[in-house]
Structure 1
Amino acid sequence: MHVHMLRFYKIEGSSRGGSFEDCMHLELVIKVVKNLTTRMQEDMPILEACKLFSPKHYPSEELLLEARSKQWLLQVLRQYGSLVESVEKCMGELDSFTTVLSSNFKHKSFRDAWEVCRDDIIMHDSFPNLMKLWEILSVVPVSTAAAERGFSCQNNIKSAHRTSMNTTTLENYMFIGLNGPETTSDVPWDDVFSLWSKKKRRFINVAT
């Protein structure tokens, strides 16, 4: 199991000593990291069961695929069975479902196959229960990378010089930091300026 290490660094320009005691929310952060480590174990059975929706992991032998797919489906149903119409209907859809995936998307991963199938009306009509399980599993967090990236982005934005920043502003800056262009050279500054200047009445002093 991978253990996520918490690292603490003194904020540049801060007058604080950089000790652990200076981190007001250290206890919360430690609990978050601990819970993420516990939840995201690499050997989680549900992650193995996700191979049901990843045709590139299908065994080439038909009998072996039939046995494995049933094992995977039963594992998924143990956790999310209450969210589908019935276990029996899921099992009834299974053989045809794996046949379709193995025939049409043989080398595709979980995500790649989902990108193709998610808007396919025929797939939803033919396999309503399995498609619902697939949709559920597609949003189950299987990595702490996003959370760690969020913490890092937050620390870069809300520094010792920005302690009065409100939650809404921080959220907006983090959205830009996480989803915006990687370099400032990719930003359409003229468009940004135009939108900013139209938001409210502003007095813009342009140096000549």
Structure 2
Amino acid sequence: METESGEHVEGFLAQTGEGSFHNVQLVGFGERREVFSRVKKELLSSVVASLQHRFQGVESHRVLLAASRLVDPREWPADQQELASYGSDHVNTVTEHFADVLDHMGCDRVKAKCIEWPSAKVIIKSLPQSLQQNAWQDFFVADDRRKTFCNLLLIVELILVMPLSTASVERGFSAMKRIKTDWRSNLSVNTLTQLLFISLEGLDLEDFNSMSVVDRWLKGLGVNTHTPFFPLTVLCDCVLRQMRSFLVSYY
């Protein structure tokens, strides 16, 4: 589009060739065609540069590159001597980048690098080629390996859940459009955040225990729900009065 105009621009230029557009005279447009072409080229160059910077390849991202080579056995060397020293720098890169998260999870980073990583490489590379790709899954399933490689598996799990696309962000925008409609435009930021969290991260209705929420709600109102023979009518009355108050204040 920098050298040739697109369909719509070409159509616009064709309709304004005589200095008018839909019978409206365009004063000085013919003299500004060069300015239009220059601005269009600058704009397109800026957009292309921004997109390239935003979606640059994994090869230019040090942490993503180290993470992908760490968990993919196809990237590991076949030679035993090369395999013995392979990956230590990748482990360092990933663990240093996620140091706060790993320390919070109780990961022994030194043990993961010096003890568990060399042993895991030997085990995975000794498997048939067809089984190596799903080897990490077996590490998570087997109880003995999950205990033996507990620190390394924290690192691997962190790598495997890293979002490599914007799908989760797009789902968030879709959920926000569903929740904050024209009729609910007065939702506060805090309420909208909580509703989005419930929609995106909450349990399914089949797994949701509503009674625990109602119990917590009533405790906030000062109602003792653990009193023996607590009447169900009182419970329903409290809930219905609170719902009515909410609906009146909302509408």
Q: Answer 1 or 2: higher relative contact order, Cα 8 Å, separation at least 6.
A: 1
Amino acid at match of 1:99: V
Q: Which runs of 4+ in 1 moved over 6 A?
A: 37-41
Instruction: Find out whether 1:155 has 2:177 as its counterpart.
Output: yes
The answer for the alignment partner of 1:145 in structure 2 is: 167
The 8 Å contact of residues 124 and 132 in structure 2, kept in 1 or not, is answered as no
Name 2:140's counterpart in structure 1. 118
1:131 positional shift: 1.9
For residues 115 and 169 of structure 2, the distance between their equivalents in structure 1, rounded to whole angstroms, comes to: 38
Report the AA paired with residue 75 of structure 1: T
Matched, 1:66 2:84: yes
Maintained 8 Å contact 1:56/1:108:
no
The 3 A distance-change label for structure 1 pair 95 and 121 is same
Gaps of 5+ in 1: 1-33, 181-190, 192-199, 201-208
Q: TM-score, normalised by structure 2?
A: 0.44
Residues 1-208 of structure 1 aligned to structure 2 (within 5 Å): 42=58, 43-50=60-67, 51-80=69-98, 83=103, 84-87=107-110, 90-104=113-127, 106-107=129-130, 112-164=134-186, 167=192, 171-172=197-198
Higher mean Cα deviation, 89-98 or 76-85? 76-85
Work out the percentage of aligned pairs sharing the same amino acid: 22
Shift of 1:157: 4.3
1:164 and 1:172, CA in 2 relative to 1: closer, same or farther beyond 3 A? Answer: farther
| CA positional deviation for 1:97 | 0.7
Bigger Rg, structure 1 or 2:
2
- Retained in 1: the 8 A contact 2:111–2:151? no
Aligned length: 148
Q: Which residue of 2 aligns with 1:25?
A: none
TM-score (norm 1): 0.51
Structure holding more helix per residue: 2
Please provide the CA RMSD for this pair: 4.1
Over 3 Å counting, the alpha-carbon distance change for 1:87 and 1:38 in structure 2 is: farther
Where structure 2 has 5 or more consecutive residues not aligned to the other structure, the ranges are 1-49, 207-235, 237-251
Output one character per residue of 1:132-152: Cα deviation in whole Å (capped at 9) or x when no partner.
222333344443321122113
- Of stretches 77-86 and 87-96 in structure 1, the one that deviates more from structure 2 is 77-86
